[in-house]
Amino acid sequence: MSMLQLATWNVNSLKVRLPHLLQWLEKNPVDLLGLQELKLTDDAFPVQELTMAGYGAVFAGQKTYNGVAILYKRSTMPTPVDVEVNLPSYPDEQQRVIAATFGDLRFISAYVVNGSEVGSEKFEYKKAWLDALLQDCSQWVKTYPKLALVGDFNIAPDDRDVHDPASWAGQVLCSDEERNRWRALLNLGLTDSFRLFEQPDKTFSWWDYRMLGFQKNKGLRIDHVLLSEALANCCTASIIDRAPRKWEKPSDHAPAIATIQE
């Protein structure tokens, strides 16, 4: 019987947030961590600092925006193999997906398109991108019985995940077009690990920097750990850790962690 902790965190600039990441990992030595919004090129990825902290990494960065990574604890995880960057069915210059296999576990870190606003060109990109994710996921769940898809999905699955559902109704992150695609993802056989358990009301993973969003808990739950059936069946906890959102110069996202008891 061994325990595995799978996590995700949109750090909003790894360069700025590296001290927070290292501090968080010290208190939360998770086995696998998907990162999003690195906002740096691969030559600037802090390999040395993470190695010192006991973590290996595979990563796909770019200048200015996007960028994703998977960190793995070297003392507990085998070396990653079959590293794949991007969605096979959606060639893209934006670095939004990285996947790797650790033993018999396939772990995918994704940064879903934001979409700007419903009806915009970026929203069309988001829908097409999500459709590609759905297509590729339908293959992955067949190939990998133990599959974890984690990341910033930029979708609040239902009204429980929104501080003010009325004002967000139909808006980007909450629209039917996005939520229908979220449900289609779950229908492929993935489980929102957070909803396997009783959770406090108004638990969110993102709060706007403006308007005292965090202080007023005006947030959304858009960062998720999705598990295939085999993993969901032995998931014993799934939480969002608000703590680092209170630190000085925080990311606007908080990490989410699922615990697996194998």
Partner DNA sequence: ATGGCTCAAAGATTGAGA
> In the range 215-254, which residues lie near DNA by CB under 7 A?
220, 222, 249, 252-253
Q: Of 89, 76, 93, 85, whose CA–CA distance to 110 is shortest? A: 85
State in angstroms the smallest separation of the CB of 7 from DNA. 17
> In the range 169-208, which residues lie near DNA by CB under 7 A?
172-173, 206, 208
Q: Is 114 in the site for DNA (CB under 7 A)?
A: yes
Contact range with DNA by CB under 7 A, out of 9-17, 80-88, 100-108, 133-141: 9-17
Contact range with DNA by CB under 7 A, out of 71-79, 114-122, 176-184, 187-195: 114-122
Beta bridge partner(s), residue 105 = 102, 146
Choose between 106 and 245: whose C-beta lies nearer to DNA.
245
The Cα 124–Cα 119 span in angstroms is: 7
Choose between 20 and 146: whose C-beta lies nearer to DNA.
20
State in angstroms the smallest separation of the CB of 84 from DNA. 22
The Cα 108–Cα 21 span in angstroms is: 19
The Cα 131–Cα 181 span in angstroms is: 7
Q: Is 37 in the site for DNA (CB under 7 A)?
A: yes
Q: Is 128 in the site for DNA (CB under 7 A)?
A: no
Judge contact between 20 and 244, C-beta under 8 A: yes
Q: Is 95 in the site for DNA (CB under 7 A)?
A: no
Q: Is 64 in the site for DNA (CB under 7 A)?
A: yes
DSSP per-residue string spanning 71-106: EEETTTSPPPEEEEESBTTB--SS--EEEEEETTEE
Please name the amino acid found at residue 173. Answer: L
Kindly give the pairing relationship between strand 206-207 and strand 3-10.
unpaired
Distance, C-alpha 199 to centroid of its chain: 19
Judged by the rule CB under 7 A, the positions of this chain that interact with DNA are: 10, 12-13, 15-16, 37, 39-40, 63-65, 113-114, 116-117, 122, 152, 154, 172-173, 206, 208-211, 220, 222, 249, 252-253
